Chains A and B, each alone.
Chain A
Amino acid sequence: RKEVEQDPGPFNVPEGATVAFNCTYSNSASQSFFWYRQDCRKEPKLLMSVYSSGNEDGRFTAQLNRASQYISLLIRDSKLSDSATYLCVVKTGNQFYFGTGTSLTVIP
């Protein structure tokens, strides 16, 4: 079983739409959770950490459900510039486990 499972998409949404990505992880001992954004042929960049209480950064909201071992990312009012691949990342000990990424294309 993979450490992190993520729906690969692709998600094609119109500008202004709200889109949600989900991710599950298998190790209940995992201690830290992140969402990264990766543009085509670029390196992953940290979008936001995910906290148990949920956290928001502008149009982006991240949620963590430890009981269900589930992480989500909500993007409101999608912009063309949000088009990218979104990676769910789980830290267990000193190791980072990456989901396969979810591809998002925001259409004008």
Chain B
Amino acid sequence: EADIYQTPRYLVIGTGKKITLECSQTMGHDKMYWYQQDPGMELHLIHYSYGVNSTEKGDLSSESTVSRIRTEHFPLTLESARPSHTSQYLCASSDTGNQPQHFGDGTRLSIL
């Protein structure tokens, strides 16, 4: 079983609030990823990191930001949440070579 953790699992919050979604992994993986997924829809990559102090935007335009100060930690921040941010956010990590991704349980975010 992969050791990657996301908190909170569920968050319901009002418009305009600043939100940070946490993601931590204990596998020492250099590569970490954030995806956004609406119910019944495909995953969209919003941010990724190949190591400490390295972050890139993904394919889907997102108003969120990320940081990678430590290998094990890859938080995602929304400065001012809006109803359009309502979705499931999935964090993943992977090792080098031909290794697969491992996903956290996800954060289900609802902005009122």
A residues near B, CB below 8 A? 31-32, 34, 41-46, 49, 89, 91, 94-96, 98-101
**Size category, B interface:** 20 to 34
Q: Which 4 pairs, one residue from A and one from B, show the smallest C-beta to C-beta distance?
A: A43-B103, A32-B98, A100-B42, A43-B106
B residues near A, CB below 8 A? 31, 33, 39, 42-43, 45, 48, 50, 88, 90, 92, 94, 96, 98-106, 108
With A44-B43, A45-B103, A100-B42 known as contacts, the answer to whether A94 contacts B31 (CB < 8 A) is yes
* A-chain residues with CB within 8 Å of residue B101 when the two chains form the complex: 46, 89, 96
* A-chain residues with CB within 8 Å of residue B50 when the two chains form the complex: 94
Work out how many contacts link A and B, with CB atoms closer than 8 A.
44
Given B43, B48, B105, which contacts A98 in the complex, CB threshold below 8 Å? B43
* A-chain residues with CB within 8 Å of residue B102 when the two chains form the complex: 46
Q: Which of B39, B43, B106 has the most A CB atoms < 10 Å from its CB?
A: B43
Given B33, B42, B96, B104, which contacts A96 in the complex, CB threshold below 8 Å? B33
Contact across chains for B103 and A49 when beta carbons are under 8 A apart: no
Report Cα–Cα, A91/B101, bound state, in Å.
9
* A-chain residues with CB within 8 Å of residue B92 when the two chains form the complex: 96
Contact across chains for B90 and A49 when beta carbons are under 8 A apart: no
Nearest residue (CB) in B for A44 is B103
Report Cα–Cα, A71/B74, bound state, in Å.
32
Given B42, B96, B106, which contacts A101 in the complex, CB threshold below 8 Å? B42
With A41-B39, A46-B100 known as contacts, the answer to whether A96 contacts B94 (CB < 8 A) is yes
Nearest residue (CB) in A for B104 is A43
With A43-B105, A94-B50, A98-B43 known as contacts, the answer to whether A49 contacts B100 (CB < 8 A) is yes
Nearest residue (CB) in A for B103 is A43
